Amino acid sequence: MYKYYCFNAIAECGLANLSEDFVPVSDAKDADGILVRSAALHELEFGKNLKVIARAGAGVNNIPLDRCAEEGIVVFNTPGANANGVKELVIAGMLLASRDILGGINWVQENEEDGNIAKDAEKAKKAFAGCELEGKKLGVIGLGAIGVLVANAAQHLGMDVYGYDPYLSVESAWKISRGIHHARTVDEIYSECDYITIHVPALDSTKGMIDADAISLMKDGVVVLNFARDVLVNSEAVVDGLVSGKIKHYVTDFPTPEIAGVKGAIVIPHLGASTAEAEENCAKMAVKEMRNYLEYGNIKNSVNYPNCDMGYPGDNKRITLLHHNIPNMIGQITGVLAKDNMNIADMSNKSKGSYAYTMIDVDSDIPESVKKDLEAIDGILRVRILN
């Protein structure tokens, strides 16, 4: 029996994929697994039974990844599951910044009682005229699941698209349209583009990257779009840019007190992934990841441990070990099994940064003493016996 706790509303169609072996609990401290969207978990003290956190979404800056790794908690996210929803809102954001659609809609609402509204609209509309996207230069910073979709869609709209991503994955390279220009430096994006959209994770290396220096390189009247995270921009610099007119519009999915009321800011209440499709995709993927890990120990799409998948153990018994990525771990682990005369049928060991994961299938029952002996090895963070 596995206990799980949901920190946010997780789409029902995902939860429906949990078997009757999974029961919801009302206190996160009792859970084996946590499902979460954007709730901040940094201050949360984790229960000792917690083994997995599955983030139904892409960004994991709401989760203390290193503390989780040290406490033997595997954190997953759902790569790409909400990318299309965000892409569509970014395109909408570019249109809102190009045409004064919001101003026009407000004018109609303010004049709803006007019996001559049809005629008066024809006079008023010149105040809301804009420009087209076609032929304009778009810079996309970060060509992951979202950035690639935005770049390709913008190209289909006739934009001249530049992409910058020094860590481009092979998967993204396969997906990106041939016509997207490869920007070799981020400064090239800043200086060349009329629209700049950022799709990178919030990391120490990316926080505040749109600062006063970056903005000073941009064209006058640039449109900056941020559907990734508020902390990627220096708010003060963006507000200064809007006030001076250097930035024509700052379109963001992240309301903050600094930016919310500033003229030229188009602020959306974090709706990028709020589509039925995105919520369902994320919930299904997060539930699948949590289930596969709790039931079989398989890791796919973890952000703090390596991927490692040995499928279904069949008649074998499975031991899984989360540990530090240090020398002689395998020797010590197999030494414990050898002492108890256990035969290894299959095994896998993978590492990611400072952490590693070992899965071992044996063809006999596993005595409780083996678990204790394995836990006693220096550097072992969690041992599970999946009988």
Ligand X SMILES: O=C(O)CC[C@@H](O)C(=O)O
Ligand Y SMILES: NC(=O)c1ccc[n+]([C@@H]2O[C@H](COP(=O)([O-])OP(=O)(O)OC[C@H]3O[C@@H](n4cnc5c(N)ncnc54)[C@H](O)[C@@H]3O)[C@@H](O)[C@H]2O)c1
Active-site annotation holds for 229: yes
Q: Is residue 273 close enough to count as binding ligand X by CB under 6 A? A: yes
Return the residue of 79, 255, 264, 379 that touches ligand Y, per CB under 6 A: 79
Spatial CA neighbour of 195 closest among 263, 139, 269: 139
Per the CB < 8 A criterion, the answer to whether 317 and 362 are in contact is yes
Q: Is residue 229 close enough to count as binding ligand Y by CB under 6 A? A: yes
Q: Is residue 272 close enough to count as binding ligand Y by CB under 6 A? A: yes
Catalytic residue among 270, 324, 382, 384: 270
Q: 174: which residues sit within 8 A by CB, 6+ positions away?
A: none
Spatial CA neighbour of 172 closest among 163, 160, 183: 163
177 binds, among ligand X, ligand Y, none (CB under 5 to 8 A by kind): none
Q: How far apart are CA 24 and CA 90, in angstroms?
A: 35
Number of residues that bind ligand X (CB under 6 A): 8
Token digits for 1? 């029996």
Per the CB < 8 A criterion, the answer to whether 104 and 125 are in contact is yes
Q: Is residue 227 close enough to count as binding ligand Y by CB under 6 A? A: yes
Active-site annotation holds for 258: yes
Per the CB < 8 A criterion, the answer to whether 38 and 62 are in contact is yes
Q: Is residue 274 close enough to count as binding ligand X by CB under 6 A? A: yes
Q: Which is nearer to ligand Y, 22 or 76 (CB)?
A: 76
Q: 64: which residues sit within 8 A by CB, 6+ positions away?
A: 41, 42
38 binds, among ligand X, ligand Y, none (CB under 5 to 8 A by kind): ligand X
Chain positions 316 to 355 lying near ligand X, rule: CB under 6 A, are: none
Residue with tokens 């197999």: 334
Q: Which is nearer to ligand Y, 79 or 130 (CB)?
A: 79
Q: Which is nearer to ligand X, 239 or 273 (CB)?
A: 273
C-alpha angle with apex 105: 103 to 108, nearest 5 degrees? 110
206 binds, among ligand X, ligand Y, none (CB under 5 to 8 A by kind): ligand Y
Q: Which is nearer to ligand X, 28 or 273 (CB)?
A: 273
Q: Is residue 41 close enough to count as binding ligand X by CB under 6 A? A: no
Measuring CA to CA, how many Å separate 310 from each of 212, 298, 346, 349, 364? 49, 6, 8, 10, 17
Torsions phi, psi of 189, nearest 5? -65, -50
Which residue's CB atom is positioned nearest to ligand X? 57
Q: Which is nearer to ligand X, 273 or 308 (CB)?
A: 273
Per the CB < 8 A criterion, the answer to whether 133 and 157 are in contact is yes
Return the residue of 15, 30, 59, 117 that touches ligand X, per CB under 6 A: 59
Chain positions 84 to 113 lying near ligand Y, rule: CB under 6 A, are: 86
Spatial CA neighbour of 94 closest among 128, 130, 143, 58: 130
Q: Which is nearer to ligand Y, 15 or 202 (CB)?
A: 202
37 binds, among ligand Y, ligand X, none (CB under 5 to 8 A by kind): ligand X
Q: What track of x and - describes contact with ligand Y for positions 189 through 208 (by CB under 6 A)?
A: ----------xxxx--xx--
Chain positions 131 to 160 lying near ligand Y, rule: CB under 6 A, are: 141-147
What 3-state DSSP class applies to 152?
helix
What 3-state DSSP class applies to 131?
coil
Backbone CA torsion sign across 275, 278, 281, 283: negative
Q: Is residue 58 close enough to count as binding ligand X by CB under 6 A? A: yes
Question: For ligand X, which stretch binds (CB under 6 A), given 52-60, 233-241, 325-333, 349-357?
Answer: 52-60
Return the residue of 152, 172, 298, 302 that touches ligand Y, per CB under 6 A: 172
What is the number of other CB atoms lying within 10 angstroms of the CB of residue 35?
28
Q: How far apart are CA 267 and CA 51, in angstroms?
A: 37
Torsions phi, psi of 78, nearest 5? -120, 80
Active-site annotation holds for 113: no
Burial annotation 335-354 (CB, 10 A radius, 16+ → b, else e): ebbeeeebeebebebbbbee
Question: For ligand Y, which stretch binds (CB under 6 A), given 65-73, 79-87, 131-139, 361-369?
Answer: 79-87
Return the residue of 167, 178, 327, 341 that touches ligand Y, per CB under 6 A: 167
Residue ranges that bind ligand X, judged by CB under 6 A: 37-38, 57-59, 82, 273-274
Where in the sequence numbering do the catalytic residues fall?
A: 229, 258, 270
Interface residues with ligand Y (CB under 6 A)?
57-59, 79, 82-83, 86, 141-147, 164-167, 169, 172, 199-202, 205-206, 227-229, 253, 270, 272-273
